[in-house]
C-alpha cells in the first residue's frame, strides 16, 4: 500500500547539507526579467505539471520517487497514486498518514509543528503537515502535503525538506509550488514510464 523511499537518506542529505550554506539563494535571481522567473516540470506518468522558481532543477538520480526536484537548499519529492488502486474504504488521507509515518521513521526527535499554509487554489484540496526532526547532527523541517483533485483518480503525496532557517523564509514559495499542481486532461493511457521536464514560461 505504501511507497517506500529507497534513497531516503540521500534525499535528506541533499536537502540538509546544502541548506547549511546559510545563504538565501533567492537573492541570486533578483535581477531576472519576469518571463525568466519560473520553471515548469511535468511528471508524465501522472500528467502532473507544476511550477517553481528558476533555481529548482530535476534530479532523478538515486531515487525511487516518482519525481524529485531540488534547489541548493531544499528538495521536493513526489509520489503519485490512483484511487482506483485501493479498496473502497481507503481514503487518500489514509495513504497520507501511512506515507508520513513511514518516512518519519528515518529521523530522530520528531515533533509536529503548527504551521499556517498559504494555499489559494480552489481547484484542488491540499492537506499539509510540518515536522521538525533531526538527522545525524542536523535539525531539519519536513513538510508533507496531500494534493487531491475533484473527480480525478490521481492524487499526490509530497515531501519538502530544508533547514529550519531556510524553510521559515521560504514557506510561501513551497506553498506556491504545491499550489501550482495541475493535471492534464484525463486520458486512458497510464502506461507511460518516463518523466520529464522543460523550461517553459
CATH superfamily of 8-19+36-182: Mog1/PsbP, alpha/beta/alpha sandwich (3.40.1000.10)
Q: How many angstroms separate the CA atoms of 176 and 188, rounded?
A: 29
Of the candidates 168, 160, 102, the one whose C-alpha atom is nearest the C-alpha of residue 126 is: 160
Q: How many angstroms separate the CA atoms of 16 and 190, rounded?
A: 34
H-helix or E-strand spanning residue 50: strand 48-52
Sequence-distant (6+) residues with CB within 8 A of 9 are: 106
The whole-number pLDDT of residue 22 equals 39
The whole-number pLDDT of residue 28 equals 40
Q: Which residue ranges make up each domain of the chain? A: 8-19+36-182
Is residue 77 within 8 Å of residue 159, measured between CB atoms? yes
pLDDT tens digits, 39-52: 999 999 999 999 99
Question: Has residue 146 got a pLDDT over 70?
Answer: yes
Tell me the average pLDDT of the chain. 83
The whole-number pLDDT of residue 4 equals 56
Angle CA 140–144–147, to nearest 5: 160
Sequence-distant (6+) residues with CB within 8 A of 102 are: 2, 4
Sequence-distant (6+) residues with CB within 8 A of 144 are: 96, 99, 100, 103, 128, 129, 130, 131, 157, 158, 159
pTM: 0.79
Question: Has residue 20 got a pLDDT over 90?
Answer: no
Handedness of CA 49, 51, 54, 56 (dihedral sign): negative
> Cα 97 vs. chain centroid, distance in angstroms?
15
Question: Has residue 107 got a pLDDT over 90?
Answer: yes
pLDDT band at 72; cut points 50, 70, 90: very high
Amino acid at each position: 500500500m505504501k511507497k517506500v523511499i529507497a534513497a531516503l537518506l540521500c534525499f535528506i542529505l541533499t536537502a540538509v547539507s546544502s541548506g547549511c550554506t546559510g545563504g538565501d539563494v533567492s537573492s541570486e535571481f533578483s535581477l531576472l526579467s519576469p518571463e525568466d522567473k519560473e520553471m515548469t516540470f511535468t511528471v508524465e506518468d501522472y500528467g502532473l505539471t507544476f511550477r517553481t522558481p528558476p533555481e529548482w532543477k530535476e534530479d532523478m538520480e538515486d531515487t525511487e520517487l516518482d519525481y524529485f526536484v531540488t534547489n541548493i537548499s531544499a528538495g521536493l519529492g513526489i509520489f503519485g497514486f490512483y484511487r482506483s488502486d485501493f479498496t473502497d474504504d481507503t481514503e487518500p488521507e489514509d495513504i497520507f498518514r501511512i506515507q508520513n509515518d513511514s518516512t518519519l521513521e528515518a529521523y530522530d526527535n520528531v515533533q509536529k509543528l503548527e504551521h499556517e499554509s498559504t494555499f489559494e487554489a480552489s481547484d484542488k484540496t491540499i492537506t499539509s503537515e510540518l515536522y521538525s526532526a533531526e538527522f545525524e547532527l542536523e535539525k531539519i523541517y519536513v513538510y508533507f502535503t496531500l494534493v487531491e483533485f475533484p473527480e480525478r483518480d490521481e492524487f499526490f503525496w509530497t515531501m519538502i525538506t530544508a533547514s529550519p532557517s531556510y524553510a521559515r523564509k521560504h514557506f510561501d514559495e513551497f506553498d506556491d509550488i504545491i499550489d501550482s499542481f495541475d493535471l492534464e486532461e484525463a486520458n486512458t493511457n497510464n502506461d507511460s514510464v518516463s518523466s520529464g521536464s522543460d523550461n517553459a514560461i
